[in-house]
Amino acid sequence: MNFIDRLTTINRKIIYLVLAIVIVIPLIFPSPQKVRVMAPVEKLFNAVDTIHEDKALIINFEYDPQSQPEVEPMGLAVLRHAFKRRIKVLVMSLYVQPLGLAKSALDQVVGEINAESKSNPDSIIYGRDFVFLGWQPGFYIPILGMGESITNVYKTDYYGNKTDTLTLMKQTKNYNNVELLVSLAVSDIPIYWVAYAQNRFGLQVGAGVTAVSAGDFYPYYQSGQFTGLMVGMKGGAEYEELLATRLNIHKRRKAGETLSSITFAHLTIILLIVIGNVGFFIKRRKR
C-alpha cells in the first residue's frame, strides 16, 4: 500500500486519538487565546460599563450543568466587571436548577475581590453591593411583577433574609432603578425579558447564549432589542479580553483557555478533510 492509499484509509480510531490529544493538551496546559472583539460583545461591555451609580444591574442565571462550561465564563466575566466598577448587582433565576451554579459563580468572584481588599469600602458586601434574590415560581409572574415592586415578588432572598430590610433593596424598588438586565441562558428566556420587561417597562436587555442557539437571537440584536450579545465560548472569551485590556482584570480566563481546544480541534478536522480529498482526487486521476 503506497502513501496515498494510507492517507485515504486512516483508521477512525487514530483520528479519534489525534482529536483527543489536540483537545486535551490545551486544557492540561492552559493558555488563553487572544481574540478579536466583535461589536455585539463590545456593545454589551459598554452597556455594563456605563451603568449609572444610582442604578443596578440584574444578572439572570439560566444555564444548567450541561451548558455550564460554555455559559459560566460569561457570568464570571460580567460579575467581575460589575464589581470592579462598583455597580450594584441583583442575581436571580426563573428556574430552580441554576440556583446552585449562580451561587457558585457569586462566591468565586466575591471571594476573589475580597481576598485583595484592604478595607470595608473596598470589599463586596452582601446586602450593600449585591443581593441574591433566588427564585420565585410562575416564570412570567416575576418578570412582570418586578416592574412594579421587586420586594413584593421576592419577599425573601436566597438566604432567607427579608429583602425589604436590605440596604440595596431599599434603593432598588423596580425596573426604574435598574439600567440593564443580562440574561445568561440556554433557552429562549432572553426573548421573554424583551417581551415582558423591555416592551412594557423599557428595561434594557443583554444576553449570553450558547453557540448552537445563536441564530434565534441575532435578529433581536440586529433590531436593537438586545443591547449586546455574547455567543458561545467565543463571546465569553471576547468579554474576558475586554476585561484584561480595558480594566486590567487578569483572573483566570476560562473561555479563552477552552477556546484553544476548540480552535485546534477545528483545524485538525479541516486538515483531515483536506488530506482525504487530496488523496481521493489523486487516486481518481491515476485510475
pLDDT in tens, 207-253: 999 999 999 999 999 999 999 999 999 999 999 999 999 999 988 88
pLDDT at 66 over 70: yes
Q: Quick check: helix, strand or coil at residue 98?
A: coil
Q: State the angle between helix axes of 99-116 and 68-84 in degrees (0 to 180), rounded to the nearest 10.
A: 40
Burial class (CB in 10 A: 0-12, 13-18, 19+), 242: buried
Mean pLDDT value across the chain:
91
Maximum pairwise Cα distance, the chain: 83
If pLDDT is split at 50, 70 and 90, which confidence band does 4 have? low
If pLDDT is split at 50, 70 and 90, which confidence band does 76 have? very high
Q: What does the pLDDT average to over 143-158?
A: 96
Q: What angle do CA 71, 225, 177 make, to 5 degrees?
A: 85
pLDDT value of position 196: 95
